[in-house]
Amino acid sequence: MNTAQRAERNSPIGWALTTPVVGALLGRIATKTVFDRLAAVFMVVVILGTALYAWVRPDYNWDMVAYVASALENRHTEAADLHRETWAVIEPGARESQLYHLKFSNPYNLNQWENPEDFQSQLSMYRVKIAYIALLRWLEPLTGLATGSILLSILPSIGVGLLCLWWLGRNDAWQAALFAMPFLLVADYTHMTTAVTPDMLLALVSLAAILLLASGRDLPAYGLLFASVLIRPDNIVLVFALLIAAVLFRWRALPMLATFAVSLLTVILIQKQGGHPGWWAHFYFSCVQIQNSMAGFAPDFSMIDFVRGYVRGVLVALMHNDWPGLLLVLVAAWALLARAGRMTPRTNMLVFALAIGTLGKFASFPLPDDRFYFVFTGGMVVLLAARWRPRFDLSPDR
């Protein structure tokens, strides 16, 4: 025993830990069962606490206004009527500060508040999320559009959290929740729950598909991957990343190719039928310069603006978002787990797909917000945590 060890043992805490009473108590408390339950309870508390906060103080964001308007389009074709009815849905539940922000906080919002025709022109970029819009309309008779749109973030958020907890439990890795849940929060779990967007619903469907693939249930996973592009067409990036991984890892490439082909064709049809302005016009709007009206907006391609969009995306992502650093940490964790022999071939393939999918998502459309990458980073967190299986209890290894 060296000097440091003797000093530690002679300290009050060290002495207490060596007494028979404390030893017996630790033997009863610091068990795997107790620590597993504590970790699971911690994760459930965070999940439900986040959901409760989102219900009490939902974020009435700009996307909520646009999605509510998209859900109302099937009954209000005139711009003025659509504009009036949309705000009639939004205003009763929004706080005064939120209404001020939505209407007057910047020139774009002010223009959308004052010009119904310009407002209607923006919806071509929203109505293409056809499954999300359909669910809003389905919920409307039960909850109203405003409450329904809030629930379409909160309920999938609970589903994502419980799905992650189930997967950790299935892999005897409940204690990994002590790490996985904070990582999910960094990946934007809280904001995605409070904001009204399709992103949490997309995360639920995509994560379910990923975990089905990880457990060898490929057929239902293909169906969920197809459903995911109906929620957000840009999730075709995930399907393509899985196709690349399937080819490189020599894993059932033909079914994944068929899933990708059907999904891609569906995305093209959805965008055509929905009047989407096209990739470049949307890129210019989101990454170069926002437009008050998208009616007839078809700018010529410019390499200078193309580069500007990517430079902006990189700078904002590095300065204000967490997904680049999170991706780096997760790739490093993947390498360490693989070196320790913890990874399975199927999990290796899926983590590879999610890693290249994160980069591919940015490369296809350089929006910097963390929520656009949650499908990939969140999936990596859960898969890697389940393979790590950390232990904090004092039970003997089995």
The per-residue pLDDT for range 21-76, each reduced to its tens digit, is: 445 555 556 688 888 999 999 999 999 999 999 999 999 999 999 999 999 999 99
Which has the higher per-residue pLDDT, 396 or 243?
243
On whether the CB atoms of residues 144 and 358 are closer than 8 A, the answer is no
For the ranges 74-78, 79-83, 84-88, 346-350, the lowest mean pLDDT is seen at: 74-78
> What's the chain's average pLDDT?
92
Res 393: pLDDT? 75
Res 373: pLDDT? 98
Rank 1-15, 28-42, 280-294 by mean pLDDT and report only the highest: 280-294
- Band of the pLDDT at 82, cuts 50, 70, 90? very high
On whether the CB atoms of residues 240 and 228 are closer than 8 A, the answer is no
User: Left, alpha or beta for 175 (phi > 0: left; psi -120 to 50: alpha)?
Assistant: alpha
Residue linked to tokens 């559009």: 145
Res 25: pLDDT? 52
On whether the CB atoms of residues 318 and 324 are closer than 8 A, the answer is yes
Residue linked to tokens 């010529």: 300
Res 8: pLDDT? 45
Direct distance between the N- and C-terminal alpha carbons of the chain, in angstroms, rounded to an integer:
28
Compute φ and ψ for 59, nearest 5 degrees.
-95, 105
Distance from CA of residue 219 to its chain's centroid? 23
On whether the CB atoms of residues 131 and 227 are closer than 8 A, the answer is yes
Q: Looking at the predicted structure, is the pLDDT value of residue 138 above 90? A: yes
- Band of the pLDDT at 7, cuts 50, 70, 90? very low
* Long-range interactions of 184-188: CB distance < 8 A, separation 24+: 184/378, 184/381, 185/46, 186/322, 186/326, 187/322, 187/323, 187/326, 187/370, 187/373, 187/374, 187/377, 187/378, 187/381, 188/322, 188/323, 188/369, 188/370, 188/371, 188/374
Compute φ and ψ for 195, nearest 5 degrees.
-85, 155
CA angle 160/389/34 to nearest 5° reads 85
Closest CA relative to residue 237, chosen from 191, 286, 290, 279: 279
Pairwise CA distance, residues 29 & 23, whole Å: 10
Residues 6+ apart with CB under 8 A from 130: 230, 270, 274
Q: What is the largest CA-CA distance in the chain?
A: 84
- For 198-228, write each residue's pLDDT tens digit: 999 999 999 999 999 999 999 999 999 999 9
Judged by DSSP in three states, 179 sits in helix
Residues 6+ apart with CB under 8 A from 14: 8
Res 252: pLDDT? 85
Provide the whole-model pTM. Answer: 0.92
On whether the CB atoms of residues 187 and 377 are closer than 8 A, the answer is yes
Query: What is the rounded average pLDDT of the residues 230-253?
Result: 96
Q: Looking at the predicted structure, is the pLDDT value of residue 328 above 50? A: yes
The answer to whether the Cα torsion of 51, 55, 61, 66 is positive or negative is: positive
Pairwise CA distance, residues 317 & 314, whole Å: 5
